[in-house]
A = this chain, B = another copy of it.
């Protein structure tokens, strides 16, 4: 499976916030993450970087 894990970038740190993400929807300043089990998490953030071979979605908070 090609899901990825979502991390929130805070300075030099990356905090794992949601695993096994399949779908990501971007809506204005919000981002909706949906995992392979259909569970969702919404947060006020934007995508900073993707590294798909490493299964990483790096987000940063929107002020």
Report which A residues bind B (CB closer than 8 A): 1-4, 21-26, 36, 46-53, 55, 57
Q: Chain B nearest CB: distance from A48 CB in Å?
A: 6
Protomer copies: 2
Interchain CB contact (< 8 A) of A1 among B46, B48, B51, B53? B53
A2 touches B52 (CB 8 A): yes
Q: Chain B nearest CB: distance from A34 CB in Å?
A: 10
A3 touches B46 (CB 8 A): no
Q: What residues of chain B lie closer than 8 Å to A53, measured between beta carbons?
A: 1-3, 22, 36
Interchain CB contact (< 8 A) of A52 among B23, B46, B51? B23
**What residue of chain B has the Cβ atom nearest to residue A48's Cβ?**
B26
